[in-house]
Structure 1
């Protein structure tokens, strides 16, 4: 059985500084069933006890978290795959170039969940398919918010 840690180790914190595909599992507010989302605006804070990420202001995941704050993040990084469980809070709507919400996760447990003998040798990459200047502006605004203490 994999060892469960109470914080994100430093190498994984370093890899969680944005532009990363991360899965988010919440409990659907209406059906009580698990709901999977993909996020990429994400920052792990030093010490490995807090993660912040941004979603659109009316994202289902924000509604779900307001109803039930327990979440799971699926992360690939530091040559493995991790399940990060935590309790999340949702900000009020923030109006920048787009309306968004910042989700703050207080990390409760981190578990390495790669199969026996497995090692990640390359990670998923993606590209933004909208206006590059808009992408740069959004990233700048959002990462500024996520990096606030």
Structure 2
């Protein structure tokens, strides 16, 4: 995908967004107007043009999207770095059947760019682990992923 602009997720990126993955998301801060970066792992591609993410309801991202729906996602996958631009919409600020206050946000993909610098590739993707109770983390992940599937 180098030097190409797409308007949809290619199959490799769609597949990458079917599993637990660390991504960063940029929004525009509603107060300062400055870019704001957020790190999340609850993200899934529903189809080649639609993503859903979950964040804590008190996340600054929720307030930022109320002021400006523009988002950019930085994804490391398929041996490269991608910028996925889109329009975010808050589906709910309180997902049902999730014990913590969780907002579900839908992102309509408008553009995808391979932004890896010339002559290189990603050889190892970042890994993360949940540092709280392992069983509680698995239960919460299951509940949040179900909320993502349902849209809230």
Indicate conservation of the 8 Å contact 1:7/1:107, yes or no.
Answer: yes
Deviation at 1:3, TM superposition (A): 1.5
Q: Deviations over 1:1-60 (max 9, x none)?
A: 8211000101111011231110100000100000001010010123x1011010001110
- How does 1:2-81 map onto structure 2 within 5 Å? 2-46=3-47, 48-81=48-81
Q: Deviations over 1:102-149 (max 9, x none)?
A: 110000000000011111111000111001111011100111121237
Q: How many residues align?
A: 148
Question: 4+ residue stretches of structure 1 with deviation over 6 A?
Answer: none
Indicate conservation of the 8 Å contact 1:81/1:114, yes or no.
Answer: yes
How far, CA to CA, are the matches of 1:45 and 1:78 in structure 2?
19
Could you say what secondary structure the match of 2:82 adopts? strand
Indicate conservation of the 8 Å contact 1:18/1:40, yes or no.
Answer: no
What corresponds to 1:130 in structure 2?
A: 132
88-97 vs 32-41, greater mean Cα deviation:
88-97
Indicate conservation of the 8 Å contact 2:25/2:37, yes or no.
Answer: yes
Under a length normalisation based on structure 2, what TM-score does the superposition of the two structures give? 0.93
How far, CA to CA, are the matches of 1:107 and 1:145 in structure 2?
20
Over the residues paired in the alignment, what is the CA RMSD in angstroms? 1.3
User: Which blocks of at least 5 consecutive residues in structure 1 are unaligned?
Assistant: none
